[in-house]
Structure 1
Amino acid sequence: MKKYLLSLHVAVVGTLLGLSTAVPADAATGSTTPTRHPVLFVHGYNSSGSYWNTMADRFRADGWPSSHLRQWSYDWRQSNATTAQEVSAQVDRLLAETGASRVDVITHSMGGLSSRHYAKELGGSAKIDAWVSLGGPNHGTDAANSCYDTSCTEMRIGSAFLTALNSGDETPDGVRHATWWSPCDGFINPDSSVALSGAANTRTACLGHSALGTDPVVYGQVRDLVHR
């Protein structure tokens, strides 16, 4: 009983001071109830899980345990539909390991396409709380006209993959969708490609395509979105 009252006192004081303090779910055993969803990071074209090192470190500094932050790499040349199946496996693994019921998915560039396909076609919308797209070619980019990997051709404006992905509701109910786009992004052309109907769409400062994942202002906005 004393342990419970002490824990409750700490939680109340933390709240008054504006701190994020988890209250033990079972004071007798010391186990805690996670106050944050685990995060799956999905990198983009010609990239890897290491792209997220800076953002993941910032999440850890803000209280997310390493077990709740999943950086992984996939074959970015393959179809985004194939990668979506891998996203599904990663989500299920992360939920099983953390005991959470939903994940937050944070994506950069092309990573938004496979995760959207997962949500729309593979039942992922029931397992995602917040979905974030940083510089995603959600409606295509003319930069993809000069590359020929399967995944890249799917990023072309008017591709069959994007036509199917964007048909109907671009932001299905049950998932909080948010995008960030930069007026100085040299890879996403046109800039308007990123925004989705029904999402919270945010214009950033003049940032390059890769800088979206390391900019501290963007990070703070993303963190505040997923942690609520």
Structure 2
Amino acid sequence: MTPNLLRALPAAALAFAAFIPQAAAAPTAPAAGGPDPIVFVHGWNSSGSTWNTMADRFRSDGWPAGRLDQWSYPTSQSNVTTARQLADEIDRVLAATGATKVDLVTHSMGSLSSRYYLKNLGGDSKVDAWVSLAGPNHGTSAAVLCGGAPCAEMRPGSRFLNELNAGDETPGAPRYATWWSPCDGIISPDSSTVALSGAVNTETGCLRHTAFPVDARVYEEVRAHVR
């Protein structure tokens, strides 16, 4: 083989390679599923707007807007009725997002309907983390100042609360956590009202009842719990 031919081989090989079909690129792995959707459950005489500040913080920290559900419901109805409506709402969120579980973040009376859902309506299989901010889990004396079914249910010793708290207070697989303040002013007597056996129970700084959903430190702790 002549020297000129040897020098020509690399160029010829490169030209030939240009006509060889290239192997298909490996498919890009699908994006990891987003975080669990969060369903926010407000308290008595309130609405989903209670959560505007907290939901904005979650969005800023990477939660997609479509996975932050600031649910509203009529607060004059029994917590049992609300729990059934919450069950429908959670099924709707799961279907819309394709997720298998949600996280529940609740304030005040919202703790009660959500706990009823977990204990009595099969919700423990659809919830990963549950949060109670200033929830009257064992009743509050302030409930004597309002009327109607939900207020009667929030009073210490009510049939609703006795049945809700009978046996295991934190049933199933969800990760339960509560937050309470010695300065709440609405939920009393504070820790013994809010805290649940089997939950991670946290005392906050001196927060008034309506400050929980907007407090930055509480948000950081809630975010760490639901991750």
The 5-angstrom pairing of residues 1-228 of structure 1 reads 27=28, 31-191=30-190, 192-227=192-227
**TM-score, normalization by structure 2:** 0.87
Q: Secondary structure at the match of 1:105?
A: strand
Q: Aligned-residue CA RMSD in angstroms? A: 1.5
Q: Which structure's CA Rg is the greater one? A: 2
Task: Output the CA distance in 2 between the equivalents of 1:117 and 1:58.
Answer: 28
**TM-score, normalization by structure 1:** 0.87
Query: Which residue identity is paired with 1:76?
Result: T
Task: Output the CA distance in 2 between the equivalents of 1:188 and 1:38.
Answer: 28
Task: Output the CA distance in 2 between the equivalents of 1:201 and 1:43.
Answer: 19
Give 1:147 shift. 1.2
Give 1:149 shift. 1.5
Task: Output the CA distance in 2 between the equivalents of 1:151 and 1:224.
Answer: 31
Task: Output the CA distance in 2 between the equivalents of 1:3 and 1:160.
Answer: 64
Give 1:2 shift. 10
Task: Provide structure 2 residue ranges, at least 5 long, that are not aligned to the other structure.
Answer: 1-22
After superposing on structure 2, the runs of 4+ consecutive aligned residues of structure 1 that deviate more than 3 Å are 1-4
Identical aligned residues as a percent: 60
Task: Output the CA distance in 1 between the equivalents of 2:162 and 2:120.
Answer: 14
Task: Provide structure 1 residue ranges, at least 5 long, that are not aligned to the other structure.
Answer: 5-25
Alignment deviations for residues 9-65 of structure 1 (CA, whole Å, 9 cap, x no partner): xxxxxxxxxxxxxxxxx726xx42224100000000010000000000000000000
Task: Output the CA distance in 2 between the equivalents of 1:101 and 1:131.
Answer: 15
Q: Secondary structure at the match of 1:186?
A: coil
* Aligned 8 A contact 2:108 2:135 in 1: yes
Q: Secondary structure at the match of 1:154?
A: helix
